[in-house]
Amino acid sequence: MKVFVTVFMCILVVSELRADDLLCQNPNERKGYCVNINNCFGLKSVNTKSKRTFSESRFIQESRCGDGNFVCCAGDTDFDSTYLLPQPLTCGGDIAHIKILGGNETAISEFAWMVLLEYRRFYGSEPETPCGGSLLNHRYVVTAAHCLVGSYASPFGTLVSVRLGEHDTRTSEDCLGGICSRGVKSVAIEEIHVHKNYVPDSEYWHDIGLIRLQSAVKYSPTIRPICLPSTVGGRILNDGQFLTVAGWGHTVNGGTGSPTLQKVRVPFVENDTCMKKYESIYMHVNGSKICAGGRSGVNSCGGDSGGPLMSYDKGSWILQGIVSSGRQQCGSNWPALYTNVAEYENWIKEKMRP
């Protein structure tokens, strides 16, 4: 009789496994089984908490599989923050060969998080690259919202992919000072997030957007993420402190842009000073913006949009700002305006998922 009961119970268990416990992958890309949430101890304990964090609630929502209350049970109960936001050494590392060949041209792999946004006017056409961005991890690129929606982006067609590991847009193999790299890679876009308070074609408030790539990119000497301010302690910027802007935008001498990645150092301008400057043209500057530049002939310019304004601290490059807007910012004596990344870190974290 005991044998019969045991066999009967095994049949029931196998039957349940076949019906419910299907293999699945949770939001952290870990393999698990699709079960009723009441049979998943970890997620059940989070689900029954009186107060859940936004991240925990979203993790449960994105863990759902099948119908009803079924979730992918894999042992973890929240997003893996170390995967989402790389830490110093992984992010912001400078492994470039520092000897530049003159001017402001960067070394190959000097800013390995730099990306070009690729737009196409119609199927089969050559991509245009009027905007840049910065790689945050294996799946996400941060850029300016005006590169994603509105009158600036629309003439270039549809944003279809991002290009990583680029240095010289004229060549398939980048060489500089006898050092060559074949690491250029184009990755299709899966989804786009624009800050909900951004108003296209306005004064560029909340000018920030996030791009999720269709597939994870593998890090290499020419493809690496940059650090966000919080990962290095969120240090305060001081008036006159030099920051670095990089991009393929127009040079002071004119033209449609530089074929090679360029860099320039610009001084940070304290917000009160910058505000007084812009108030003369009835434009308001607040904590959501960073001001930098103001020396004639040295500044960010068109084609740098969406690219990074960076500080360097204890061996790591930190994303402080995103090239946004400004009055005659192409080499003028007006400070350029950059989206203050520190003000939007929570928004970035809320939108990211493995």
- Residues marked active site are found at 146, 207, 305
* 50-57 CB contacts, 8 Å cutoff, 24+ apart: 53/78, 54/350, 55/79, 55/349, 55/350
- Determine the Cα angle at 85 with ends 232 and 235, to 5°: 20
Q: From its phi and psi, is residue 53 left (phi > 0), alpha (psi between -120 and 50) or beta? A: beta
Task: For strands 114-120 and 158-164, give the pairing.
Answer: antiparallel
- Residue 274 to residue 294: CA distance in whole angstroms: 10
Contact present, 43 and 28 (Cβ < 8 Å): no
Strand partners, 32: 24
Are the C-beta atoms of 134 and 142 separated by less than 8 Å?
yes
Integer Cα distance of 316 and 183 in angstroms? 22
